[in-house]
Amino acid sequence: MARSQNQAPFPAYRPRRLRAHPSLREMVRENTLAPGDLIWPVFVMDGQDDAHPIHSMPGVFRHTVDRLPVLAARARSLGIPAICIFPYTNPRLKTQTCAEAWNPDNLTNRAIRAIKAAVPDIMVMTDIALDPYNINGQDGIVRGGEILNDETVEALVKMGEVQVQAGADILGPSDMMDGRIAALRAMLEKNKFHNINILSYSAKYASGFYGPFRDAVGASGALIGDKKTYQMDPANSDEAMRMIARDLREGADMVMIKPGMPYLDICLRAKTEFQVPTFAYQVSGEYAMLKAADQNGWLNGQQVMLESLMAFKRAGCDGILTYFAPEVAELITP
């Protein structure tokens, strides 16, 4: 039924009536944004009591592990339910085999332990991909110019296992290899980690919007070539649905679309077709664009931050990974 048929003609129907007062607008608001919708990505580095700014991401820092408990406690008190950890790995530890990825004492695992010991109630999510540990910056093991799928999946399983042993609650495979969700789920079941969630980066596109992130984790200089043989073509939408269906069949609990703002059509389609917990990653480049325009006085930073995050809710997302998490939570916490 055409919706316009439900409405009286003007002047009986004056849509502006519903917009005439702030309290009325609040009454008829269709979506809400709350701190509970946010996952905060945090960059960690070696060292002591230190933080380094990431120039292409104003307001974002890499933090040493000993600072994480305070940050996590603050996030939790703002109502943020989860933190996602990304390591800035010492270049000397990057190799062809990526063995540092499954070192039980690597930066990520030390960060997980520090956070869970101090703030057990915050969910710790990890990133599963080899790029922070890979001498060539690729997410998978490279041999003869090829990114090897099955060997990479074996490495990712070892990586996930040590993360869970360190206390991770949610595994976030961001590598886009085939078969990784089934392999990770089998590892979790075998070890009786029945309650560990997998939030799969199911629809991850080969995007230019990851640029500042690669600076943040020190992978930009390292990356040789591009990621187009495993990350998705931005032209595709049906393929994203196939990836989500596949990951759910293999044992993913939640799915992600990444990047976020340019892919809201994919978010809405995913939520409509699958009705599963659906997340979007408002990636580094999206954050950088908004911050840069704000700093130039070209946009109202606070307004576009709120508007961009609400757009994800409107598009059907249950939550958003965003570098704005603490800043926006501060603003919207009741």
187 contributes a contact to ligand PBG by CB under 6 A: no
If the CB atoms of residues 107 and 283 are measured against ligand PBG, the closer one turns out to be: 283
User: What b/e string do you get for 156-186 counting C-beta neighbours within 10 Å, with b at 16 or more?
Assistant: bbebbbbbbebebbbbbbbbbbbebbbbbbe
Binding mask 5-44 for ligand PBG (x = CB under 6 A): ----------------------------------------
Check residue 100 for interaction with ligand PBG (CB under 6 A): no
The site map against ligand PBG for 162-181 (x = CB under 6 A) is: ------------x-------
Using the minimum distance from each CB to ligand PBG, give the nearer residue, 52 or 214: 214
Query: From CA 71, how far away is CA 57, in angstroms rounded?
Result: 18
Q: What's the rounded Cα separation, in Å, for the pair 274 and 279?
A: 13
Interaction of residue 213 with ligand PBG, rule CB under 6 A: yes
> Could you tell me whether strands 278-282 and 319-322 are parallel, antiparallel, or unpaired per DSSP bridges?
parallel
Q: Which residues between 229 and 248 bind ligand PBG (CB under 6 A)? A: none
Q: Outline where DSSP puts E strands in the chain.
A: 38-45, 51-53, 61-64, 82-87, 123-128, 141-143, 146-148, 170-173, 197-204, 254-258, 278-282, 319-322
Bridge partners, residue 41, by sequence? 84
The answer to the question of residue 129 lying near ligand PBG (CB under 6 A) is yes
Q: How far is the CB of 128 from ligand PBG (least distance, A)?
A: 8
Hey, what are 95's tokens?
């190799």
Q: What is the closest distance, in whole angstroms, from the C-beta atom of residue 305 to ligand PBG in the complex?
A: 15
Find the largest Cα–Cα distance for the chain.
Answer: 72
Whether 272 contacts 232, CB under 8 Å = no
Establish if 139 lies at the interface with ligand PBG (CB under 6 A).
yes
Residue 131 near ligand PBG by CB under 6 A: yes
Stretch that binds ligand PBG, among 64-72, 123-131, 311-319, 325-333 (CB under 6 A): 123-131
- Note whether 210 binds ligand PBG by CB under 6 A: yes
**CA dist., res. 190 & res. 194, Å (int):** 9
Nearer residue to ligand PBG within complex by CB, 7 or 96: 96
Measured from the CB atom, is 37 or 139 closer to ligand PBG?
A: 139
Catalytic residues: 204, 258
Residues 269-288 that bind ligand PBG (CB under 6 A): 283-284
Cβ-based neighbours of 306, under 8 Å, separated by 6 or more: 33, 328, 331, 332
- How much of the chain is helix, strand and coil, in % rounded to 5? 45, 20, 35
Rounded Cα distance between 123 and 72, Å, is: 10
C-beta of 6 vs 218, nearer to ligand PBG: 218
Euclidean distance between CA atoms 119 and 84, whole angstroms: 14
CB of 147 to ligand PBG, least distance (A): 12
- CA 275 – CA 54 distance, rounded (Å): 36
Helix or strand run (H / E) with residue 147: strand 146-148
Q: Shortest gap between Cβ of 214 and ligand PBG (angstroms)? A: 6
Taking the complex as a whole, the smallest distance from the CB of residue 233 to ligand PBG amounts, in Å, to 15
Scanning 103-111, 117-125, 153-161, 209-217 for contacts with ligand PBG by CB under 6 A, the matching segment is: 209-217
Task: Report if residue 136 touches ligand PBG, rule: CB under 6 A.
Answer: no
Please report, as ranges, the residues that interact with ligand PBG according to CB under 6 A. Answer: 127, 129, 131, 139, 174, 210, 213-214, 227, 283-284
